[in-house]
Structure 1
Amino acid sequence: MPVVVIGATGTVGGAVARALLKDHRFTVRAVTRTPSTDQARALAEEGAVVVAADLNDTRSLCRVMEGAAGVFLTTNFWEHLSKQREIAHGMNAVDAAVMSNVHHFIMHGSDPTGADEPKCGYMDAKAAIEVYLRETSESLPFTVVKFPFLYENITSFFKPHLISPGLYTLPIPMESVPLDIMALQDIARCVVNIFLRPKNHMFRAVSLAGERMTVQHMADHLNKLFDDRTITYVKITPPDFATFDFQGSQDIAAMFTFLQKAQPRDTRVTRRIFHSVTIFDKWAMDNRDKLLAAMRGDDDTPR
């Protein structure tokens, strides 16, 4: 089954492309604006057909979708921080899929922020793309996959932050509210299984979650891994996070304002799609070296 992955050289798209490549029932067209990048070359070495297209150019998208049975779309708000630009990109991908007679279109989606809540461009753009997608549902069978907070976030943007020698905190503004979380590789496997068994998920949104856990509980798990440092949780509120001096801080704060009030996701839904979901404790043990490397970029703890 030929599947086009849009955003294949990014973190999310790359994980989905690799999960598809591991299942020999699929061939993967990895879409990127720049096929010469290291990420694109790595995908080609793993068996993907790397193709050039641009989300600003619907005709280029039609070319790479020709003859494809499926499309996976992830759009990258954080690249440009423009809600309208992300919506336009998503609409172009939907239009191209309709014109190319794609059999199943899966997109990385999100709930919208509430009417009276702070606005998050990342969430609201994806929600707007879903609205547009549903308007085309007579022409384009689809599934929207709504991601939880990724385990992998704590090895990158939300890595443990040094607050004093040997002492770290997780900079996640959830306070004492549990957070829906899951490993990206398991989310990617869910996408593969939805492509394989589309009937159960067609014209639906699927909200994934592997576990639900407080940030303090996450820190407690991480503490088991290290003898020379302590990871704790100094509670931070979304309004506090919004004051941080970097572009996108207000969008992130708005996202966590929403997540603090969101209804818990049903992890049984996820396990019906992919039953071997990795628990956080196991993921943390398997990724100890990545966590350590992330912290070592920010500390003076003896090695």
Structure 2
Amino acid sequence: MTISQDPSAPLVVLVGITGLQGGSVARALIDSDKPYRIRGLTRDANKPAARTFAAQGVQIVSVSLTVDNAANVRKAFDGADIAFAVTNFNEHMDKQREISEGKMLVDTAKAAGVKLFIWSGLESLSALSGGKFSRVGFFDAKREVTEYAKDSGVPTSVVEAGYYATNIFEAPYALKKQPDGSYVFGMPVPANTQVPVIDVAHDYGLYVRAAIENPALGPGSEVLSGKLISFGELVETLSQVSVKKITYLELDREAFIEATGMPDYGPMLSDMFEAFAIHGYYGGKAIAAESLLPRKPRSWSDFLAATPVQDFFH
């Protein structure tokens, strides 16, 4: 389908359209048989992804989504019927900034009078663990924004992103080559620890589109994405596909933190994985049924089949 320019079509404002989540949402809506006008927000309108979307009919708006730029952010939301919002903790590693910017996006959407505000949230691992795992600031921050959005009165659907499939390759602290040419995948949790893996770029937008289009969802819904699979199964399948010998190794907390090579960041990662093992990524909540989605999302095996996995082994 092509993006509609008809003023009667709903205007969807997408935060971070050049990112993995925002781009996935844009592609999912473009694939829909329903008409949408799409306005994509990005700091850099000259990024290749922004230019590609613009060529497809997306209105690209360059705007910095910071609290001190709130007036311009509100202008970018003008006329929106639906808004999708996400924040990027890794850009600044500041929990309070994450919360402030998330709340600013909620306030902006409410001021615009949107009929549906879709927030990319996460669970609070600190709350799930009774304060034991309190270092994972981005999980806790996103949950605080979730509660703020619910309390604000803006019609809200929370679409949580599962564990990024790409994390397996972007975690050099975990996948380590051994002197004999084999690999060890070391984590601070048992091999049977499950996470809801998702190919975010390919599939996250399906869940957002379902929140918009499926009458079983919409305002008030929480849509949890991904497919549960254990770290042991992840490693076993990766070993088969890559034709590499990879062994899962359960590390104690201190050994894992040392393996990360990041004394400040390592404890946060360990808290996160340990919380997953004890409380679950979603705290026991059910993942959205695939029947609610416009198409079937990729499994871990599907993701590997579409990925040049050999490029990640050196």
TM-score with structure 2 length normalisation? 0.83
Residue equivalent to 1:112: 124
1:160-185 CA distance string (max 9 Å, x none): 43233532233544322222222222
Pick the aligned partner of 1:37 from 47, 53, 67: 47
Deviations 1:195-235 (A, max 9, x none): 1125524213222232x2221211111122233x3222122
Kept in 1: contact 2:159–2:224 (CA 8 A): yes
Unaligned residue ranges in structure 1 (runs of 5+): none
Deviation at 1:95, TM superposition (A): 0.7
| AA aligned opposite 2:88 | N
Q: Return the alpha-carbon distance in structure 1 between the equivalents of residues 115 and 64 of structure 2.
A: 21
Answer yes or no: is 1:251 the counterpart of 2:260. Answer: no
Change (3 A) 1:226 1:205: closer
Unaligned runs of 5+ in 2: 1-9
2:65 pairs, out of 47, 55, 64, with 55
Alignment of 1:235-246 (within 5 A): 235-243=250-258, 244-246=260-262
- Shift of residue 194, structure 1, vs aligned partner: 1.2
Say which is worse superposed, 162-171 or 187-196, in terms of deviation.
Answer: 162-171
CA distance in 2, matches of 1:95, 1:127: 16
> 1:216-267 deviations in whole A, cap 9, x for unaligned?
211111122233x322212234554344333533322222122111244534
Offset, 1:145: 1.3
Is 2:13 aligned against 1:4? yes
Displacement after TM superposition at 1:3 (Å) = 1.1
Query: RMSD between aligned alpha carbons?
Result: 2.3
Q: Please tell me whether the aligned partners of residues 2 and 70 of structure 1 are also in contact (alpha carbons under 8 angstroms).
A: yes
Please point out which of 8, 14, 37 is paired with 2:23. 14
Q: How does 1:68-87 map to 2 (within 5 A)?
A: 68-87=80-99
Q: Indicate the SS of the match to 2:222.
A: strand
- Residues 238 and 284 of structure 1, relative CA distance in 2, 3 Å threshold: farther
Question: Is 1:271 the equivalent of 2:286?
Answer: no
Residues 1:156 and 2:166 are matched in the alignment: no
Are the counterparts in 1 of residues 212 and 218 from structure 2 also a CA contact under 8 Å?
A: no
2:154 aligned with 1:135 = no
Give the secondary-structure state (helix, strand or coil) at the position aligned to 1:9. Answer: coil
How far, CA to CA, are the matches of 1:130 and 1:84 in structure 2?
14
* Structure 2 counterpart of 1:28: 38
Secondary structure, in 3 states, of the residue corresponding to 2:183? Answer: strand
SS in 1 for 2:178: strand
Fraction of identical pairs, as percent = 23
Cα separation, 2, equivalents of 1:226 and 1:197: 38
Total equivalences in the alignment? 289
CA distance in 2, matches of 1:153, 1:47: 32
Question: Normalising by structure 1, what TM-score?
Answer: 0.86
Counterpart Cα distance in 2 of 1:193 and 1:178: 24
Match for 2:238: what amino acid? L
Tell me, what secondary structure is at the counterpart of 1:200? coil
